[in-house]
Amino acid sequence: MNQIKNLGWRVTMAGLGINLALGILYTWSIFKMTIKDSIVAGDGLFNWSLASLNDPYAVCCLVFAFTMIFAGRVQDRLSPKITAVIGGILTGLGLILISFSTTWISWILGFGILMGMGLGFGYASATPPAIKWFPPAKTGMIAGIVVAGFGLASVYIAPLAIFLIEKVGLSQAMLIFGIAFIVIVSALAQFLVNPPEGYVHPDTVQNTTSAASGSIDFEPGKMLRTATFYKLWIIFCIASGAGLMIIGGVAGMAKQGMGQMAWVVVALMAVGNALGRVIAGILSDRIGRANTLFIMLIFQSIVIFSLLFITPAQVMLLVLAAMLIGFNYGTNLSLFPSATKDFFGLKNFGVNYGLVFSAWGVGGFIFPRVSQMIVAYTNSPRMAYVLAAGLLLIGAVLALLTKAPVTETYKQPEFIATPATEKI
């Protein structure tokens, strides 16, 4: 049994490592500022319009989210190892492509499409095999640990990117990252293995009055016919979109008040992001997904509303708010995969969570643009803060109204009996 337990933690650590590499997405602001400086200086390297500066990132988020659906199917049908290798190769090739060209279309293809697909495959490969090795009571904790790497990545990638850009330039930095990620992700992928068919962890509590939790088995089509899926999707869209919408604004406020030290806020936000994923996962295993999600949405709404009263000169308050916003945003990335597993089972978890995760891409694409429109019309982010806070309150109420889907073999009263699979 010790060998099996060790294998489970080995898979978890490999997934964490893969996400620590793929989290380069959250370092976009470093690359963007280098491109912007080139455009403003008119040095001829990046002949882009300032309005198109965020296009590669926006495309990457959308492609990432929707690739998760197909990648999840590959993970379910083939293996997490193959899925992760595909992710590492695609991500690396995307970065290598942009190392040879500075044109807008090359960055759309390389950073936006190829890297977006790579992130989708890599991210889809890490969590499912890890949680299969552990009992349901640890689903949130394990999911939180695995995805924490993605949130924490910019803590080391951001300063490393700055160092490489200063030494060898942006293009060569992308080449180095591309080659490194192909090697690192492909190597870590070899440790991603599923447990034997029919494996049940000995600590799993069996329900003698109904089928075990392993019998929860929703095909994607069946899941899409439940109201639970659409409620989860809307909540995830609001929670992720509102968080991403505010994060950019806080970074701008930090630059006004802290100048060159603004990177500290970005780093602390990343630390908060990673901690939120782990802590929310552990907490939800104890008090249920519903209670945890409700608390986090309410908390995020309050923190974002407080930005109305914080000025760029109030550096300490700004740093605290930034870390809390990152923390609350991060909770979504462990709560929603855990809820998807609880509600719809493990057999099709990859593709099912891919469908749920599409809400992250849509929210991240739409909400920041709505914020930019508000700022353009009002010359202030205040209304964007109010909108985000209000939507989060709506999401909190909707979370409490969302219940597990009821099937002939899977009854609501029995579902509530297990703490880790509490209604959301």
The predicted pLDDT at position 403 comes to: 82
Does the model's pTM come out above 0.85?
Answer: no
Is the pLDDT at 251 greater than 90, yes or no?
no
Q: How confident is the model at residue 418 (pLDDT cuts 50, 70, 90)?
A: very low
315/350 same-domain check: yes
Distances (CA, A) of 121 to 70, 133, 172, 305, 402: 8, 21, 25, 36, 29
Domain assignment of residue 352, yes or no: yes
- How many Å apart are CA 281 and CA 292, to the nearest integer? 9
Domain assignment of residue 2, yes or no: no
With residue 240 as reference, give the H or E element that holds it. helix 227-258
Is the pLDDT at 144 greater than 60, yes or no?
yes
Q: What is the pLDDT of residues 262-313, one digit of tens each?
A: 667 777 888 888 899 999 999 988 888 888 999 999 999 999 999 888 876 7
- How many Å apart are CA 335 and CA 299, to the nearest integer? 15
Domain assignment of residue 318, yes or no: yes
Q: How confident is the model at residue 212 (pLDDT cuts 50, 70, 90)?
A: very low
Q: What is the pLDDT of residues 20-73, one digit of tens each?
A: 998 888 788 788 888 888 888 878 788 888 777 878 888 898 899 889 988 988
Q: What is the pLDDT of residues 1-20, one digit of tens each?
A: 445 555 889 999 999 999 99
183/258 same-domain check: no
Q: 333 and 311 in contact (C-beta within 8 Å)? A: no
300/371 same-domain check: yes
Boundary (domain end) residue, out of 193, 208, 243: 193
227/371 same-domain check: yes
Q: Cα-Cα-Cα-Cα dihedral of 62, 64, 65, 69, to 10°?
A: 130
Q: Give the CATH number, domain containing residue 106.
A: 1.20.1250.20
Mean pLDDT within 105-122: 95
Mean pLDDT within 68-91: 91
229/115 same-domain check: no
246/324 same-domain check: yes
Boundary (domain end) residue, out of 159, 193, 227: 193
- Candidates 287, 404, 276, 397; CA nearest to 334 is 276
Boundary (domain end) residue, out of 158, 193, 228: 193
Q: What is the pLDDT of residues 377-400, one digit of tens each?
A: 888 878 888 998 999 999 999 998
Tokens of 366: 């739409």
* Count of structural domains within the chain: 2
Distances (CA, A) of 3 to 6, 151, 248, 415: 5, 30, 45, 31
Q: Kindly report the average pLDDT of the chain as a whole number.
A: 83
Domain assignment of residue 373, yes or no: yes
106/156 same-domain check: yes
> pLDDT > 90: what percent of the chain?
37
145/268 same-domain check: no
188/223 same-domain check: no
The predicted pLDDT at position 88 comes to: 95
Q: What is the pLDDT of residues 188-206, one digit of tens each?
A: 999 998 888 777 777 676 5
The predicted pLDDT at position 239 comes to: 93
The predicted pLDDT at position 188 comes to: 95
Domain assignment of residue 57, yes or no: yes
Is the pLDDT at 258 greater than 90, yes or no?
no
181/95 same-domain check: yes
- How many Å apart are CA 29 and CA 26, to the nearest integer? 7
110/46 same-domain check: yes
23: containing domain: 7-193
Domain assignment of residue 50, yes or no: yes
The predicted pLDDT at position 414 comes to: 36
126/187 same-domain check: yes
Query: Which residues are CB-neighbours of 25 under 8 A, at least 6 positions away?
Result: 57, 60, 61, 64, 115, 119, 150
Domain assignment of residue 204, yes or no: no
The predicted pLDDT at position 419 comes to: 41
Domain assignment of residue 199, yes or no: no
